[in-house]
Structure 1
């Protein structure tokens, strides 16, 4: 189970990094704002209750979570005003990697990230 979760996060990270470096699906010329909005779009599609679900639903949830983390990190690297979003998603990701479940701390950080996204 742990190997699957790590694999999903690493795979999602590769997708997110590629998206960030290539400017996303719309082509070159993306900005840090585009990265932040992409992170929020990915986060909007995250259903954390499915993280431990086997099959496509669980994979989709984990890939979106990883994509949100990676894009928020890219946004923060280019513009420090996006650091709160990246930090909230980073804390959620790290906690999930520690406990392999969606506990109160993960939920709190995801809620914080969603609140930040609502303000973008």
Structure 2
């Protein structure tokens, strides 16, 4: 004699109901409105401030002055040293190059400054220390700054 068999477990034959779909219309409308209003606000600020990069105090001349300020604060004896003084030296040296390059892009009169700073950096990469050749280029840039 066999033991009694339990009743079979009922199996669901239908898929569970999916959650109701939320309408995306209001969300999409809010997103578009935010983009339009935000873009309009940025555009208004840009238009009111001049928006061309040459607002008072800015532009190639200001970039050249800022490059010279960074170069003036650069101490080549600290370049490559460990710690904060070394970090400051490296960043000022490369900031001077970036600013001088920006100035030269806006006004060709600043091209000699950019070329001298870049030349000193190229020489430094070749020489690996501030040799007379590197200092010649660096001093040329500093001379240009003295004339600003």
**Aligned counterparts of 1:55 and 1:100: Cα–Cα separation in 2:** 19
For the pair 1:32 / 2:32, whether they are aligned, the reply is no
The two structures have a TM-score, normalised by structure 1, of 0.74
Q: List gaps (5 residues or longer) in structure 1.
A: 1-27
For the pair 1:59 / 2:94, whether they are aligned, the reply is no
Aligned to 2:128: 100
1:1-120 equivalences under 5 Å are 29=55, 30-120=58-148
**Aligned counterparts of 1:35 and 1:43: Cα–Cα separation in 2:** 12
Q: CA RMSD in A?
A: 1.0
Runs of 4+ displaced beyond 2 Å: none
Deviations 1:14-70 (A, max 9, x none): xxxxxxxxxxxxxx6321000000000000000001112111111100100000000
Query: Cα offset for 1:105?
Result: 1.2
| Higher helix proportion (structure 1 or 2) | 1
Aligned residues: 93
Structure with more contact order per residue of length (Cα contacts < 8 Å, sep ≥ 6): 1
The two structures have a TM-score, normalised by structure 2, of 0.61
The structure with more radius of gyration: 2
